[in-house]
Amino acid sequence: MKELPKAYEPQKYEDKIYKSWEESGFFNPDVCVREGVTDADAESFSMVLPPPNVTGTLHMGHAAMLAIEDTMTRYQRMLGKKTLWLPGTDHAAVATESKVEGLLIKNEGFTKPKEELGRDAFMEKVHAFARESHDTIVGQAKKMGSSLDWSREAFTLDEVRNKAVRQVFKKMYDDGLIYRGHRVINWSVKGQSTCSDDELVHVERPAKMYYFKYNKDFPITIATTRPETKLGDTAVAVHPEGKYKEYIGQVLEVENVGQKGHNLKIHIIGDDHVDETLGTGALGVTPAHSMVDFEMYQNQKALGNDIGLIQVIGEDGLMTARSGSEYEGLSVEEARSKFIEYLNSENLLEKEEEIVQSAGTSDRFKDVVEPLPKTQWFVDVNKKFTLEKSQIKGIESGAEVSLKELMQAAVRNGDIDILPERFVKTYFSWIDNLRDWCISRQIWYGHQIPAYIDIRNKENEGVIFFEENKIVLTEEQIDETRKFDFGFLMLDNIKNFVHSAKFSQINFWLEKKWITIEDVQEAFQSVHFFTCKKVDVFDNDKDVTKYHFQDPDTLDTWFSSGMWTFSTLLDGDMKDGESLEEWLARSQDFQDFHPTQMLETGYDIIFFWVARMILMTTYTLGTVPFDTVYFHGLVRDEKGRKMSKSLGNILNPLDMIGKYGADATRLSLMIGTSPGQDMKLSEEKVEGLRNFANKLWNISRFMLMNIDKVNKDIEIPEAKTLADKWILDELLSDIKEYHSYMNSYNFSQVSEMLRDYTWNKLADWYLEIAKVEGNKSEILNYILNTILKLWHPFMPFVTESIWKEIYGENEFLLVERVPSYNEDNQLWVENSKEEVAPNFKKLQGVINSLITKIRNLRAEKGIAPSKKLKAYYKENKVLEENTHIVNALARLESFEKTESFDEEHISFIEAGVECAIDFSGVVDKEAEKERIEKEIAHIKPYLMAQEKKLSNAGFVDNAPEAVVNAEKEKLREAKEKLEILEGQLQKL
């Protein structure tokens, strides 16, 4: 006999409970084994938390992710597995840097923060922001109740991950998969950086299509929405078999395009991609400012026809000198007007057309990207390499494969399951269209590309790595270095150099005559560390070559997060001279927990992250990163819109937790949702589930008041009454379903089923009966323990709070075993369950409304109830078994005690009770019989016809085998169904 407070107030319990979990150490599987709550030889379950970006705070999408993953984790832990859910955050390179830039402009009055602050000071701001953001995120994750093993927390940009990144980069470079290529890339003028194809968001906008000729004599009209780029045209592409084919191969000199003296050599080339039905049927080729045109340029080059490439737009978004003196320095818009003006004045413009165009926009910087030719780092996804060791189905160790093939094999051959299945199609169609991955970014925040350029190599291509940890400097190198007065450290023998703005640093290295990777690492962090490129800037007077220094490129953030499943499991620090393989081999966590079992994330990052993890992991390890991918939907507001600040429709998880508790917030993100389907969330839903949490609390409160002596480990007790049997049997069959739903990740179904059991069956029915029947201590104890365990993965706080209230502060529901289903425990005789159980409720309802009606009548007419009433109903057979009804009547009796009924009202109640009897299954049984008989009558003639059909030799011999088999299958199915129906009839 214990008593809980009257209402559950989440705010009073949640922080305390989370703290107790953390202090217990049970989020850490090692502690669980050490403390004996998990068997040392138990199976392991591991999952990484998709690391949130350190760009701010968590939103509802993160909350959904945390809720689902925590539920998965807690379930696995309660199954007794060694369970690891590994936390971390993502530095989110571009996103974070541009966010900080924006904040500095907005809040601190900078206009160009990076320039104004300089590298060190700016990076300090970024790091401070990232730290703060990280702390917020961790705090929020804890508020949600996430059972993450914080002792293993990682960051995509910390030292261990950086070393892993450098190793994998080098491996890929050595395999020839990473290369430096000059090609057209997406350039954000605003962000002064490249963007990968996937980072573009296409935005529809109105545009004008201009039809024109380069000059009066030019035979072919072309069309474009970007006239200013036409100053850099080097070819016109026509269909090889089309109307202009006679021109193919000609080079037409076109003078004075756009301005006097701007002459172009236009090669007429044939290309299959040209569609004569579109535009003018010919295509002006601007290799420098269009990806498609660049490909044509490359194709021509491969055929030995160098059509040339003219870059007319610079990285600053302004026209270059190559566009002509009148255009140089103009913005693209100004250049466009000027060029159109020119075309008009020369009467070259044939037509203008209003069209809608979708423009590639940088997701991070929000400006329309400019395709520009640049030298960048790429990962070649088509090049074959030797995969030394492979555990992937269909790929032998030592096989020659490309990254694309690896990514395909991992999913196609069943090593990775993707749920819901339809995303498999999305995945493959993405891979089919995958181009080489541009991995370099011209920003400061991120993993610096671990490659250095030899400035004395004119080609700018001398990329070599630090092969050894420690490099001893020769006298020659030291002399060489001293020649440069701007702080170069020349590493001649390995063709590397380090430049530091801090001369003292360089001098220190020169003094000690050797340098280590750590020194360079340190330089990364604390001093300016530049790669440098030689540019064509000459000062003719002094005849001195000048060098322009450029900050080193950093890696696309997905390069490091692509390694997340294994980089997080690496042991502390990499030892000197150790290879990645050796490092992994001695990392216990990697041995224990990789591949992970589950990856749970939003479908919006299937390409960015999921695909890249598959790429990086299959390449590096020859294994898959995870066995199953589960995609949840995106959280939208109640009108189905994306949550965004500008719409002001953001529901903040912390607000929800504060108002309704973490359990309600979590459940609202799981109940009524299905995998991969977007979910609409409203505050009302959270509120409703807060009510449920309170209900659970009060159910427990009531049950405890009726339990004599609590027992944590109580076995299933004996059922004494029909009601006992019913409620226990419902529980046992729900346990069976529970596991089957949990194993197929049907969390919505599970929670609805549990809610139905807890609220509708247990609270509304069984507990009412228990009040009357009494003496149910053991059954109540057993049921209470069981539902708390079943609910725990979903509602960890309220269940753990109740558990501790009952069994004491030192007990942890967190590591209890979830009840398993056992066939032998099934108590109920099948038909009696169906016959009686559902009707308890309906009878109660009828009686209840009778009470109401009688009461109203009494009020109206002043009529008293009969004292015979109770006895009358007690004689009724249906009611004999149903003590609840008896009780209800007893209530009526006592309620009406002082007055009396007349005949009329007794018959009125009789009619009502007859109605109740209708509900009680007696009549239902007949109806059910009738229904089944009807269905049998429906199937039987079909069966006979089908059998006749199949015994007909003419049909069997002449029809195709597949058809005959299909007919046989249908017959079998129908027979099976008939058997089931007849079985049901038998029971009735």
Partner RNA sequence: GAACCCAUAGCUCAGUUGGUUAGAGCGCUACAUUGACAUUGUAGAGGUCAGAAGUUCGAAUCUUCUUGGGUUCACCA
**Identity at 148, one-letter amino acid code:** L
Q: How far apart are the two ends of the chain, measured CA to CA in Å?
A: 43
Under rule CB under 7 A, residue 768 binds RNA = yes
Tell me whether residue 85 or residue 797 sits nearer to RNA (CB atom). 797
Site for RNA in 5-24 (CB under 7 A): 6-9
Site track 73-112 with RNA (rule: CB under 7 A), x = hit: ----------------------------------------
Nearer to RNA, 260 or 273 (CB): 273
Closest contact distance (angstroms) between CB of 417 and RNA is 15
| Alpha-carbon distance values, 416 to 7, 631, 697, 753 (Å) | 46, 13, 41, 29
Q: How far apart are CA 237 and CA 275, in angstroms?
A: 10
Q: Does the footprint of RNA cover residue 348 (CB under 7 A)?
A: no
Stretch that binds RNA, among 35-43, 339-347, 555-563, 747-755 (CB under 7 A): 747-755
CB of 374 to RNA, least distance (A): 18
Question: Whose Cβ is closer to RNA: residue 510's or residue 988's?
Answer: 988
383, two tokens? 């090049």
Decide if 773 contacts 721 (C-beta within 8 A).
yes
Contact between 462 and 495 under an 8 Å Cβ cutoff? The reply is yes
Segment lying near RNA (by CB under 7 A), choices 243-251, 746-754, 896-904, 907-915: 746-754
Kind and range of the H or E element at 179? Answer: strand 178-188
Residue selected from 34, 260, 425, 712 as contacting RNA according to rule CB under 7 A = 425
Task: Find out whether 942 and 900 touch, Cβ atoms under 8 Å.
Answer: no
Backbone angles phi, psi at 598, to 5 degrees: -140, 140
Is the CB of residue 10 less than 8 Å from the CB of residue 798?
A: yes
Distance in Å, CB of 759 to RNA, minimum? 6
Q: Which of 765, 704, 727, 721 is nearest to 888 (CA)?
A: 765
SS (H, E, C) 814-867: HHCCCCCCCHHHCCCCHHHHHHHHHHHHHHHHHHHHHHHHHHHHHHHHCCECCC
- Is residue 607 involved in binding RNA (CB under 7 A)? yes
With CB under 7 A as the contact rule, the residue among 638, 899, 902, 914 that binds RNA is 638
Which residue, 581 or 928, is less far from RNA as judged by CB? Answer: 928
Site residues for RNA, 829-848, by CB under 7 A, read: 841-842, 844-846, 848
Q: Could you tell me the smallest distance in angstroms from the CB atom of residue 695 to RNA? A: 5
Going by the DSSP 8-state scheme, the letter that residue 261 receives in this structure is T
Query: Applying CB under 7 A, which part among 12-20, 288-296, 342-350, 905-913 lies near RNA?
Result: 288-296
Position 970 contacts RNA (CB under 7 A): yes
524 binds RNA (CB under 7 A): no
Is 771 an interacting residue with respect to RNA (CB under 7 A)? yes
| AA identity, residue 648 | G
**In the 8-state DSSP scheme, what is residue 897?**
T
* Cα torsion 51, 133, 63, 740: sign: positive
Least gap, CB of 160 to RNA (angstroms): 31
169-198 residues in contact with RNA (CB under 7 A) are 197-198
Compare residues 224 and 883 and give the one whose CB is closer to RNA. Answer: 224
CB of residue 588 to RNA, shortest distance in Å: 39
Interface stretch with RNA, choices 109-117, 523-531, 759-767, 899-907 (CB under 7 A): 759-767
Give the nearest distance from C-beta 271 to RNA in angstroms.
9
CB of 798 to RNA, least distance (A): 10
Cα 518 to Cα 523: distance, rounded to the nearest angstrom: 8
Structure tokens at 246: 């006679």
Cα 309 to Cα 333: distance, rounded to the nearest angstrom:
22
Among 402, 977, 987, 988, contact with RNA (rule: CB under 7 A)? 977
Interface mask toward RNA for 669-698; x: CB under 7 A: ---xxx--xxxx---xx--x-xx-xxx--x
How many angstroms separate the CA atoms of 234 and 266, rounded? 5
CA 464-466-467 angle, to 5 degrees, is 100
Angle CA 696–697–701, to nearest 5: 115
Give the span between the Cα atoms of 971 and 969, in whole angstroms.
5
Contact flag: residue 322 with RNA (CB under 7 A)? no
Please pick, from the candidates 179, 759, 821, 955, the single residue that binds RNA as defined by CB under 7 A.
Answer: 759
Of residues 193 through 252, those in contact with RNA by CB under 7 A are 197-198, 200-202, 209, 222-226
Binder of RNA out of 640, 648, 862, 960 (CB under 7 A):
640
Nearer to RNA, 346 or 967 (CB): 967
Least distance CB 672 / RNA (angstroms) = 4
Q: How many CB atoms lie within 10 A of CB 118?
A: 12
Q: For residue 316, which phi and psi values (nearest 5 degrees)? A: -85, 0
CB-nearer residue toward RNA: 594 or 761: 761
Torsion angle (degrees, nearest 10) of CA 874, 875, 880, 884:
-20
Using the rule CB under 7 A, which residue among 255, 457, 942, 952 binds RNA? 942
Candidate list 254, 292, 494, 510; residue touching RNA; CB under 7 A: 292
Nearer to RNA, 612 or 701 (CB): 701
User: Of 555 and 754, which CB lies nearer to RNA in the complex structure?
Assistant: 754
∠ at Cα 662 (660, 668), nearest 5°? Answer: 75
**Can you tell me whether residue 586 is helix, strand or coil?**
coil
Q: Cβ closer to RNA: 279 or 622?
A: 279
Q: Interface residues for RNA in 267-286 (CB under 7 A)? A: 273-276, 278-284
Q: How far is the CB of 42 from RNA (least distance, A)?
A: 29
**Which CB atom, from 449 or from 780, has the smaller least distance to RNA?**
780
By CB under 7 A, the residues from 527 to 566 that bind RNA are: none
- Single out the residue of 673, 778, 681 nearest to residue 724, CA to CA: 778
For RNA, the closer CB: 79 or 207: 207
How many residues bind RNA, per CB under 7 A?
A: 102
Residues 354 to 373 in contact with RNA, rule: CB under 7 A: 355, 357-360
> Is residue 290 near RNA by the rule CB under 7 A?
yes
d(CA 281, CA 450): 47
Interactions with RNA, residue window 860-919 (CB under 7 A) = 891
Work out the number of other CB atoms within 10 angstroms of the CB of residue 684. 10
- Which C-beta is closer to RNA: that of 29 or that of 373? 373
Under the binding rule (CB under 7 A), the answer on residue 928 touching RNA is yes
**Which pair of tokens denotes residue 546?**
């000048």
- In the bound state with RNA, the residue whose beta carbon lies nearer, of 498 and 606, is 606
Residues 487 to 516 in contact with RNA, rule: CB under 7 A: none
Return the number of the residue (566 or 766) whose C-beta is nearest RNA: 766
> Is residue 948 part of the contact set for RNA (CB under 7 A)?
no
Smallest distance, RNA to C-beta of residue 444, A = 26
| CA–CA dist 447, 540 (Å, integer) | 38
Q: Which stretch binds RNA (CB under 7 A): 137-145, 409-417, 454-462, 754-762?
A: 754-762
Nearest CA to 402 among 373, 362, 437?
437
CA distance 944 to 872: 52
| 3-class DSSP state of 609 | helix
Q: CB neighbours of 292 closer than 8 A, spacing ≥ 6? A: 273
